[in-house]
Structure 1
């Protein structure tokens, strides 16, 4: 296996997914203390990233599951999830850490994480397609393997940051507010940068 292409794949993944570590940290902080939440977050991250890879690989072969004009509208996914999360925070504002409410939420669901991962990585598809198209089948395979290995590293890094005492304290205090704010901001950014709705 060519070390050069492995390095290129690792670099491309890091550059296009650096913002994902913050989102993963927020998800891990939200799921702290909930049984099985880490597994659901990791599963969601893999599902979302596998969807990105599938679309990018298909597009590299000339199939277009997702027209380029539709990509900006992926911003509606994190926007909707952010509004939903903000509504939950508002609804439970007087609970003041009520354990019963915490138990009910149970941390993020795999499909929510997958939706945010896919929407946040929608613009990555445009970067991956030409790279995959020129890499050929063997090169594309290396890229896919490296990317999938690095998804695990990203999950580890997100969980690591979320469990550092200083960060964990801040996230446990403000994470319930930060997560909806970040999701809404990401959604709006994707919509605005992509010119959705003529923005």
Structure 2
């Protein structure tokens, strides 16, 4: 029973975690699908998104593996400050990321679309995704990592599918532009706090200080 509860928690957390990183990607994909409408181009966008996302996951796994050698679990809890920092950044940010991505697409319009999508994904979302994935991956067992990878794969497909469909619905882009940063900020800060609390970082600091 405990295994079932833990696995369900891993699945739900994986979905929420990926969803928090997917808001930026959704805007990017909507821009791409609005410019490239043919079936061939859509297939290339799917492949490019999977390639870019798997690259970020692989990099995050590498750093998580390295950090697994840190002996004290409570020290790893400080990694929770990374997503909290990103959350605060999104609250304070007023950058027009969609415009920046649109410019990148125009610059690479004559290039291979698969490579373009992959590069834009890594360049636009790399630091955020790695900063969020690494602290979470460090806290997982091998079984949980495998489950999370499967969940992420499913989420990537759903994300690209929604990017295609929502590219034809203007109100979705308006809502994401208006509330996207706040949604990401809440999830990022919440995940950071969860990592800190589950690593017993605060209790250890209290013992050390008092």
Task: Judge same fold: TM > 0.5, yes or no.
Answer: yes
Distance 1:79 1:159, change over 3 A: closer
Does structure 2 conserve the Cα–Cα contact (< 8 Å) formed by 1:52 and 1:118? yes
Q: Match of 1:40?
A: 44
Summarize the Cα distance change of 1:28–1:3 in structure 2 as closer, same or farther, 3 Å threshold.
Answer: same
C-alpha deviation, 1:120, in angstroms: 2.1
Deviation, 1:84, is 6.7
Aligned-partner Cα distance in 1 for 2:8–2:143: 13
- Unpaired runs of 5+ residues, structure 1, are 64-77, 89-104, 171-199
Measured in 2, the distance between the counterparts of 1:22 and 1:159 equals 10
Equivalent position to 2:32, from 24, 27, 30: 27
The answer to whether the Cα contact below 8 Å between 1:30 and 1:108 also exists between their aligned partners in 2 is no
* Alignment counterpart, residue 12 of structure 2, candidates 7, 11, 17: 7
Residues matched between the structures, number: 136
Q: CA 1:16 to 1:87, structure 2 compared with 1: closer, same or farther past 3 Å?
A: closer
Identify the residue that residue 163 of structure 1 maps to in structure 2. Answer: 168
RMSD of aligned residue pairs (Cα, Å) = 3.0
Q: Is the 8 A contact 1:27 1:108 kept in 2?
A: no
Change over 3 Å in CA distance of 1:19–1:81 after alignment to 2: closer
Q: Check conservation: 1:46, 1:151, Cα contact below 8 A.
A: yes
Unaligned 5+ segments in structure 2 are: 68-98, 174-210
User: In the alignment, which residue of structure 1 is the partner of 2:208?
Assistant: none
Structure 2 partner of 1:112: 116
SS of the equivalent of 1:163 reads coil
Aligned to 2:53: 49
Corresponding residue for residue 103 of structure 2 = 82
How far has the Cα of 1:22 moved from its partner?
1.0
Change (3 A) 1:127 1:156: same
* TM-score normalised per structure 2: 0.57
